[in-house]
Amino acid sequence: MTGLVDSRDGYRPEATSRKRLLLVGDEESIRLTLPQILAQYGFEVTVSATLSDALDEIKIHNYDILVSDLNVSEINGGFAVVEEMHTMQPRCINFILTGSPTEDTAQTKARGVATIL
């Protein structure tokens, strides 16, 4: 399902009532379990295993929520995904997943991250 682009704010309305979530992570266990759990709560989940795939998804589809591993594909690769999402789709709520948070909260908020999980 491809959306229509409003170039002023990056919003692309799509014909779906479910919230669309992009999950970005290179850990197979996360990619297999989280979508099942999130689907139970009514989310339509798209999974990307690499930074490149995630950046392609952001250009094609509209998302309500982004959940990205901090170190997907490279150290701090999750921030690259968040920064692109924040530019292309500023209405999207962005979260970073990490097992070892190291970034200062103020820095993450400045980069468009709602919170680190």
Q: Where are the domains of the chain?
A: 19-116
pLDDT of residue 13: 45
Contact 5, 12 (CB under 8 A): yes
pLDDT digits (tens, 9 = 90+) for 38-67: 999 999 999 999 888 999 999 999 999 999
Q: Considering the domain 19-116 in this protein, what is its CATH number?
A: 3.40.50.2300
Q: What is the Cα–Cα distance from 61 to 41, expressed in whole angstroms?
A: 21
Closest CA to 92 of 76, 102, 100, 81: 81
pLDDT digits (tens, 9 = 90+) for 7-43: 445 544 454 578 999 999 888 888 899 999 999 999 9
Q: What is the Cα–Cα distance from 1 to 60, expressed in whole angstroms?
A: 9
pLDDT digits (tens, 9 = 90+) for 62-94: 999 999 888 787 666 778 888 899 899 999 999
